[in-house]
Chains A and B, each alone.
Chain A
Amino acid sequence: MKKNAGNVPEHPMENLLRMDRIPHIWCSTCGIGTAVSCFIQALQNFDYPLDKIAVVSGIGCSGRIAGYIKLDSFHTTHGRAIPFATGLKLANPELKVIVFSGDGDLVSIGGNHLIHAARRNMDITVFCVNNFIYAMTGGQCAPTTPTDANSSTSPYGNFDHPFNIPLLVGSCGATYVARWTALHIRRLTRSMQEALEKPGFSFVEIIAPCSTLYARRNRLGTGLDLMKFYHDNSVIQHGAPLESLDIQFQKKIIVGKFIDKKRPTFLEAWDQYLGKKLGDKFISAEKGIRAA
Chain B
Amino acid sequence: MQYWRKPLDADRIQIPHGEIHIVRDRCKGCGFCVEYCPKDVLELSSQFNIKGYHPPEAVNADACVHCQLCELLCPEFAIFVTLKEEEQTVEG
Docked-complex contact B35 and A33, CB < 8 angstroms: no
DSSP class of A's interface residues: helix, strand, loop or mixed? loop
Cross-chain contact B29 with A28 (CB below 8 angstroms): yes
> A36–B78 Cα gap in the complex (Å)?
13
Q: What are the residues of chain A within 8 A of B72 when measuring CB–CB?
A: 34, 37-38, 41, 185-186, 189
- Known contacts A23-B26, A28-B53: A33-B74 contact under CB 8 Å: yes
Contact B31 A224 (CB under 8 A): yes
Q: Mark B33-57, 1 if CB is under 8 A from A, else 0.
A: 0011000000000000011010000
Q: Of A17, A29, A32, A228, which one neighbours B77 at CB under 8 angstroms?
A: A17
Q: Say yes or no: A37-B35 contact (C-beta < 8 A), given A2-B25, A4-B21, A29-B30.
A: no
Instruction: Evaluate whether A9 and B82 lie within 8 angstroms (CB atoms) in the complex, with A29-B30, A34-B73 already known.
Output: yes
B26 and A22 form a contact (CB under 8 A): yes
A12–chain B nearest beta-carbon distance, Å: 6
- Are A4 and B24 touching (Cβ within 8 A)? yes
Picked from A2, A8, A37, A189, the residue with its CB within 8 Å of the CB of B75 is A37
Q: Please, could you name 25 A-B residue pairs with CB atoms under 8 Å apart, sorted by A?
A: A1-B23, A1-B26, A2-B25, A2-B50, A4-B22, A11-B21, A12-B71, A14-B77, A24-B76, A28-B30, A29-B31, A29-B75, A33-B74, A34-B32, A34-B74, A34-B75, A41-B72, A185-B69, A185-B72, A186-B72, A189-B72, A224-B30, A224-B31, A224-B32, A228-B35
- B→A interface (CB under 8 Å): 21-26, 28-32, 35-36, 50-51, 53, 69, 71-78, 80, 82
